[in-house]
């Protein structure tokens, strides 16, 4: 079949395996491979996590900057 489609056998095997995982014929949860849906969700969650970390870092730096402005000058008693 792979030869007829002009693709490597390994590619066809990967597609068949992923289709079986997506249909629930093979374990796609827990320790095994992810379903296409789980993989898409993982990509989205990682993207959101990256964005939230950037926001957290920004607000941490902004808070430090504004806190510094509130301190009395050095040597002021």
Domain range summary for the chain, segments of one domain joined by +: 2-70
Mention every residue, 6+ apart, whose C-beta is less than 8 A from residue 36: 18, 21, 22
Tokens of 7: 């693709």
pTM of this prediction?
Answer: 0.52
> 76 — phi, psi (to 5°)?
-85, 125
Helix (H, G, I), strand (E, B) or coil at 39: helix
Closest CA to 35 of 21, 17, 25: 21
Mean pLDDT confidence for 54-58: 96
Distance CA 3, CA 27 (A): 28
Mean pLDDT of the chain: 85
The arithmetic mean of pLDDT across residues 23-45, rounded, is 79
């Amino acid at each position: 079949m792979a030869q007829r489609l002009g693709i490597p056998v390994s590619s066809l095997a990967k597609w068949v395996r992923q289709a079986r995982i997506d249909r629930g014929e093979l374990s796609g949860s827990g320790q095994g491979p992810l379903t296409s849906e789980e993989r898409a969700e993982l990509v989205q969650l990682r993207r959101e996590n990256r964005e939230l970390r950037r926001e957290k870092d920004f607000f941490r730096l902004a808070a430090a900057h504004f806190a510094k402005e509130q301190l009395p000058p050095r040597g002021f008693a």
